[in-house]
Amino acid sequence: MSTAFQRVGAAIMLGSSVPSAAEAPAIELTGAWATHADLCSQVFTKRDNRVVYAEFSELFGSGFIIEGDRIRGRTGTCSIKSRKQQGNGLELSAACASSIMTQDVRFSLTIINDNNVSRSFPEIAGMSLTYTRCEL
């Protein structure tokens, strides 16, 4: 699976070791997420009441769409297999598929606030991206 697909689809951010999952409110991630709020309309659009990638969206940055236990990237889709929440951190494991391959991916999200998350991959040290929830 390409690094670009990993960045888009599966990714979500950095785990933390604060309160236990039982003490933390559930994290709601449904929506379209882009690397910059001002790029949302260039990365995503609505078609038939559904959020989709805009034409030439790859020119304007990275993003992903979360719907329930599915994460859609430009080049593939992931199904979330497991979630582990600790405080504002969420570790995800997902089964991802593109047109050419399948792969299990692990990633972590740190919830900055309701509309901003930071994403990292345990296998890629030092790589972290911040995403903003888009209002469409």
Task: Say how many domains are in the chain.
Answer: 1
Strands 128-133, 31-34: parallel, antiparallel or unpaired by DSSP? antiparallel
Q: Residue 25: its pLDDT value, please?
A: 62
Q: Name all contacts of 38-42 with Cβ < 8 Å and 24+ positions apart.
A: 40/132, 40/134, 40/135, 40/136, 41/134, 41/136
Residue 18 is part of which domain span? 3-133
CA angle 26, 110, 4 (to 5 degrees): 115
* Half-sphere exposure at residue 98, Cβ-oriented, CA atoms within 13 angstroms: 17
Higher pLDDT, 57 or 14: 57
Q: Residue 18: its pLDDT value, please?
A: 31
Averaged pLDDT for residues 106-133: 90
Residue 126 banded pLDDT, cuts 50, 70, 90: confident
Q: Residue 119: its pLDDT value, please?
A: 92
Averaged pLDDT for residues 82-110: 93
Averaged pLDDT for residues 7-34: 53
Percent of the chain with pLDDT over 90: 62
